[in-house]
Amino acid sequence: MERNPFDAFPKTVLQLGGLAVGAIAPNDMWFEGGISLIRGLSGLGWETTALAGYAIGYDRAPEKWNFSLPVYLGYRFAQRPSMRPSDGSNATQDTHMLVLGTRTVWSRFLRAAPLELGLDFSLSIPFARGAASTSTWRDPATSVWVNAALVVGW
């Protein structure tokens, strides 16, 4: 059996950035929804996420930097591109995932709007998968996604 030279590399996709809209309620409950593009080795896909959680340590003091730690649970749907090379066609697979995560956030309330800087870390655990979009799909079943992101918001 011929060994695939790409088996030695980590199986990853690159998130190309995205847009998210979120809110923190007066009781520090935290909600966010977002969409982004993801790039695999042989194509492009997209993902959308809905998150809810609690912002530990959140403070609305004006003109002062604040540190908080939102922890969250959510749902992610991804039309995941292939993480391995194919025949050059764009192969994707619909994947439904449970998301668990945390974010470290530094925020400052300015006159016009709050500024937020953060580092996000999450695990996405697949619980359902659709059929691959083409017969060239070569990826094994996805186990867990590990995401890390830099967050800038206002």
**138 has pLDDT over 80:** no
Q: What is the pLDDT of residue 3?
A: 55
For residue 75, the number of C-alpha atoms closer than 13 Å in the C-beta half-sphere is 5
Q: What is the pLDDT of residue 51?
A: 95
Q: What is the pLDDT of residue 65?
A: 87
Coil, helix or strand at residue 6: helix
CB atoms within 10 A of CB 69: 15
The rounded Cα 137 to chain-centroid distance in angstroms is 22
Provide, rounded to the nearest whole percent, the portion of the chain with pLDDT above 90.
26
Counting DSSP H helices and E strands in the chain, the numbers are: 0, 7
pLDDT band at 146; cut points 50, 70, 90: confident
Over residues 45-96, the pLDDT tens digits come to 889 999 999 988 888 777 788 888 989 999 999 888 877 666 667 778 888 9
Domain boundaries, the chain: 5-153
Q: What is the pLDDT of residue 10?
A: 54
Q: What is the pLDDT of residue 57?
A: 86
Q: What is the pLDDT of residue 76?
A: 94
What number is the average pLDDT over the span 33-54? 88
Least Cα distance to 149 among 56, 66, 34 occurs for 34
Q: What is the pLDDT of residue 102?
A: 94
pLDDT band at 33; cut points 50, 70, 90: very high
Q: What is the pLDDT of residue 136?
A: 66
Average pLDDT value over all residues in the chain: 81
